[in-house]
Amino acid sequence: MCGILGIINENNRPVNQSLVDGLTVLQHRGQDSAGIATIHDTRFHMYKNKGLVSEVFNQDNITNLIGNMGIGHVRYSTSGSTSLFESQPLYTNTPFGLALVHNGNLTNVDELKEYMILKKRNINTNSDSELLLNIFAEELYNKNVSNISQFDIFETVKKVMEKCKGGYSVIVLINRVGMVAFRDPYGIRPLCFGKNKNGYVFSSESVAIDVLDNEFSLTRDVHPGECIFINHCNEIHAHNVCEKSSLNPCIFEYIYFARPDSIIDGISVYNARLEMGNKLAEKIINKHPNLVHDIDVIIPVPETSRISALQISQKLNIPYREGFVKNRYVPRTFILPGQEIRKKSVKLKLNTIQSIFQGKNILIVDDSIVRGTTCMQLIQLAKKAGAKKIYFSSAAPMVKYPNVYGIDIPFKNELIANSKNETEIAFEIGADEVIYNDLIDVIDACNVNLKYPLKFESSCFDGYYITDNIDNEFLKKLEKNRGIPYISNPGGGDTISK
């Protein structure tokens, strides 16, 4: 998962500080690296490096990023590589000079690599973002015109969407032409845009638009299969370039990834998580009524699950307490590359307030259970702090299948719920009982205030992949490439993380 941002202003108003501010707000979407590219007087200016936004950018390199249009990126790698060569923005000088930022995953990479070889375009990394950049460049180059119009841009993006399968949102900066933003035909990965009297902004989440100076305000989400082009004269053109499109946003955005103050495709992330808490409380009341009288205190795993935990507390009339204390200077474990780093970071990340646990029956509320290692370590911490009984709940349904659209949810043999039921999972992680939200309830929670309910991309819960190129052979090959042995029907799941 990554965060992308693009700003274009008129009257030579600089965008450098606004890009840094916006990326800082999107920091939760990736901590591997950060980068910005701007254009001034037909020349690109770019800086990127490993680390957090606050570590990468300083007064000197921000000052050098001059120009009234620019794009930015915060990266988390879904392929395990944290190479600076794969950090974004990515650049190619033909045609015109192009820089690109991308959030998501392409799922037909081998096919696209062969196409690039045919076109004699060299790909230097294993990044699907570099592939996407070069495919866009190749299609635009084929227009062979010196004066690019909106129709040329729309036709280019249409060709890109015909070739590229998967989930993606993209912003491209084109020298002497303008800025292009588009979203995959299913709207799996989020992208919205806003405006003020001086220009336009594109962002992975609305919260980055909210915090910008100069009174930017959210206009709407980019539609699935839509391309929005803003030329160098600050004129905006929008067109749905995909003949068949449908809105199926990734449901994990609402469960875990997005900030609670964001609105994605008309859904308040905060309200969705609030309702997930309601649904989980109702399940406890209806299917585990004995727990209502047995639980002494409800404790969230900071920070994403707090909203759901508070609602469960109110619904069950059981005290809510902050029992785990988070070290804010350790990155989120779910999106850290490398399993050993994840394991170590959990130990550094959380500690307990012993008096909250001592002699009590507790309900721990987390946003999700993926591999199982994080919850196992949390339970060990709770037991060490003196908890009597430990019930563990997940605002998300059981994660049974890998995600291939930009979230690093691993393969079947790594997922604790793929081969175990709730009783077996409870035994595995050391809990007295485990309670999951049901998928239908999570979907209802996201749709609670919508006039027209959405369908969601929820492959990690139901195994249904909305693009037509994902099958067992694809998953087997993907797993082999990552050096993990493929087990089509594993007899037992490793508990590797979260």
Question: Position of tokens 């709730």?
Answer: 422
User: Where are the alpha helices (H) located in 72-205, listed in sequence order?
Assistant: 109-118, 128-141, 150-163
Active site residue 2: yes
Could you write out the DSSP letters of every residue in 422-489? HHHHHHHHT-SEEEE--HHHHHHHHTTT-SSPPP-B-HHHH---SSTT-SHHHHHHHHHHTT----SS
One of 2, 250, 375, 446 is an active-site residue; which one?
A: 2
Q: Report how far residue 47's alpha carbon sits from residue 37's, in angstroms, rounded to the nearest whole number.
A: 7
Neighbours of 423 (CB within 10 A): 10
Could you write out the DSSP letters of every residue in 265-302? TTEEHHHHHHHHHHHHHHHHHHH-HHHHHH--EEEE-T
Q: Are 169 and 103 in contact (CB under 8 A)?
A: yes
Give the number of residues written for the chain.
498
Q: Is 94 helix (H, G, I), strand (E, B) or coil?
A: coil
Q: Are 264 and 271 in contact (CB under 8 A)?
A: no
**CA-CA distances (angstroms) from residue 280 to 304, 398, 471?**
15, 13, 32
Q: Are 137 and 193 in contact (CB under 8 A)?
A: no
Catalytic residue set: 2
